[in-house]
Amino acid sequence: MAREIKFSLVYRDMWQSSGKYVPRVDQLKKVAPAIIKMGCFDRVETNGGAFEQVNLLYGENPNRAVREWTAPFHEAGIQTHMLERGLNALRMNPVPADVRELMFKVKKAQGTDISRSFCGLNDPRNLRLSIEYAKKAGMISQAALSITHSPVHTVAYYMGLVDKLVEYGCDEICLKDMAGIGRPNVLGELVREIKKKHPQIFVQYHGHTGPGLSTASMLEVARAGADCLDVAVEPLSWGKVHPDVITIREMLKADGFLVKDLDMNAYMEVRKLTQEFIDDFLGYWIDPNNSHMTSLLVGCGLPGGMMGSMMADLKGFQNAINAGQRARGKQELSLDELMVMLFREVEYVWPRLGYPPLVTPFSQYCKNTALMNLMATLQGKPRWSTIDKDTWNMILGKMGRLPGPLAPEIVELAKEKGLEFYEGNPQDAFPNELPKFEQMMKDEGWDEGQDREELFELAMHERQYRDYRSGVAKERFNAELEEKKAKAGAPIVVTRPVVEMPKVDIEALTAGHPSALPVQAPVKGQLLWQIDVDDAGSAPAVGKAFRKGEAIAYIQTRYGIEAVEAAADCRILAVCAAQGAMLEKNEIFALAE
């Protein structure tokens, strides 16, 4: 008898892989009935990943969004699933265990059925608590393998991980082929091995279309025994996103599989509404090149969804790079030339950093390091001149065990800097913090919310949550939207609000703190609190500690980037300048003690 293949619509990831924002809750509720009417989906990916942060960034409550977005699918008998990053949960950096546990309770209460948990390093220790907490909360635990292609990422390697995850109690396995570079034959062999050894395990495949391999991979994994495939719909399917359900359904049907009927009128309604959301405001943050597939991604292995931020990085550095090229009497470089150079540098950096699968946040770390290396070498400086703190934490093992060995030059560099490698369980390095956030809620007079969901948002995304509560996030988003509209030639509907840094009385603050030291710009240029454009360039919180030699911030000059390093162990006392501020040489932009 023919075997049925199920489909999941990854509506959240369709947007996440296309641009900065996802639809508002009113838009999500509007499209849900048409998705249900299509009739071909057993599952819909509704939330997780950057979904909560994105809602906070444009001033909306993510808890309301999850509850109202998942409700119609439950009524229709369609399962909903979320994506979470193991140790990092729903953000880019590690999360204390008690906050992670609360997340699963909250998401289950809000209507999420399945938790897809992945570790970007494929360290099973980072997934153990995700599996335990998901099942304890009453969710289906789907543990994901971060798929990539390298000498160390073999079928045997992945089966060793699967065995551990099944031992921990996961219900399902997902092959998360985030860059779409998994080779179809290898993925098919891996699914056959999983089904042979663990026949009770439900297997789902998630593959991006960027380099063009994922359609063949879907056929191979289906033939090997996979149960469910992640798909998209126009106008966001293909490109750097996911294959379209129409094509995959017809391919499998022709191969003899059972697939549910698809209501084309409903498909066209989903397509129309999705385009309507793009035309409304979301398209202002979607790079047109995201609709293009490119074989260039096969070599570097970067996820297609990163192309937008990567090109923004290159555009931001192009003038500085070419100023240096001119000063040395060399030919200026085009964006295409810089892109190829950056791809090659990622290929150089990746194995030397231990082959971390190029998925959030490790894809950003490798890309950032490659970008800094490219800047350094074009200025005649050695590679590895600038490595940010998060990348060092990855290198040192604080986020998990790397799949492959570090290059000797990286190990030697760590020793030169007096850095120690961490051998313990990554979670142990991040103690519980929930009581601290409970007290914050009391101090602010805020209610913890239904099922403690407001407490969870504060603990998971403190800075973004505070900006949401204060209204700053909404003002910032509206200003950004009007700027985007103006650049696109659209009429400006509202005036742009001005969001300024609070004034700091340096003399008074210094008088109260005799040991306070000014943090000054070593050169004239633009202040960059963080290099990675994916993290919104936020300034450090008052009280944040820095070790001697650690980069507090960066100054972008006409010839490149200068790091502002801490002269001694210190903590931030005050921040005097915002991200992007133009500073004169020796201008004070922070105080530390």
Each residue's pLDDT tens digit, 133-188: 999 999 999 999 999 999 999 999 999 999 999 999 999 999 999 999 999 999 99
Quick: pLDDT tens for 100-129: 999 999 999 999 999 999 999 999 999 999
Q: Are the beta carbons of 302 and 359 closer than 8 angstroms?
A: no
**Predicted pLDDT at 214:** 97
Given a contact cutoff of 8 angstroms between Cβ atoms, the answer to whether 172 and 202 are in contact is: yes
Q: Is pLDDT at 536 greater than 80 in this prediction?
A: no
* CA dist., res. 153 & res. 398, Å (int): 21
- What amino acid occupies position 288? P
Sole residue written with tokens 């190829």? 340
pLDDT for the residue numbered 504: 59
Strands 561-565 and 582-583 come out as: unpaired
Q: According to the model, what pLDDT value does residue 495 have?
A: 33
User: CA 182, 187, 190: angle at the middle one, nearest 5?
Assistant: 135
Residue 443: which residues within 8 A CB-CB, separation 6 or more? Answer: none
What does the alpha-carbon distance between residue 540 and residue 555 come to, in Å, rounded to a whole number? 15
pLDDT grade for 93, boundaries at 50, 70 and 90: confident
408-461 pLDDT, tens digit each: 999 999 999 999 999 999 999 999 999 999 999 999 999 999 999 999 999 999
* pLDDT number for residue 499: 38
Q: Which CATH class is domain 506-592?
A: mainly beta
Helix, strand or coil for residue 500? coil
Residue range 561-579: mean pLDDT, rounded? 85
Strand 545-546 vs strand 551-556: parallel, antiparallel, or unpaired? Answer: unpaired
pLDDT of 535 over the 80 cut = no
Residue type, 15: W
Q: In what order do the strands lie in the sheet with 561-565?
A: 561-565, 551-556, 525-528, 582-583
How far is 79 from 77, CA to CA, in rounded Å? Answer: 6
Of all residues in the chain, the percent with pLDDT exceeding 70 is 93
Average pLDDT of the chain? 90
Local confidence band at 289 (pLDDT 50, 70, 90 cut-offs): confident
- The tokens describing 573, both together, are 């006392």
pLDDT grade, residue 235 (50/70/90)? very high
Neighbours of 447 (CB within 10 A): 10
pLDDT at 68: 98
Strand pairing report for 588-592 and 517-520: antiparallel
Strands 228-231 and 202-207: parallel
Q: So what's the pLDDT on residue 115? A: 98
β-partners of residue 554 are 528, 563
pLDDT of residue 490: 52
pLDDT at 492 (0 to 100): 39
Q: List strand residue ranges (DSSP E) for 101-222, in order.
A: 114-118, 140-146, 172-177, 202-207
Q: How many helices (H) and strands (E) does the chain have?
A: 22, 16
Tens of pLDDT along 485-521?
A: 888 765 433 333 333 455 656 666 666 677 778 888 8
- Collapsing DSSP states into helix, strand and coil, what is residue 2? coil
Residue 118: predicted pLDDT: 97
Range 78-101 average pLDDT: 96
pLDDT at 534: 44
Percent above pLDDT 90 for the chain? 65
Statement: residue 193 has pLDDT above 80: yes
- CB burial of 62-85 (b: ≥16 within 10 Å; e: otherwise) equals bbebbbbbbebbeeeebbbbbbbb
Q: Where are the domains of the chain?
A: 6-287, 296-428, 506-592
Q: How far is CA 477 from CA 136, 463, 549, in A?
A: 37, 15, 35
Whole-model pTM: value is 0.81
303-328, pLDDT tens digit by residue?
Answer: 766 665 666 677 777 887 888 788 88
| pLDDT, mean of residues 330-359 | 90
Q: What CATH number matches the domain at 6-287, 3.90.45.10, 3.90.550.10, 3.30.565.10, 3.20.20.70?
A: 3.20.20.70
Backbone angles phi, psi at 113, to 5 degrees: -85, -40
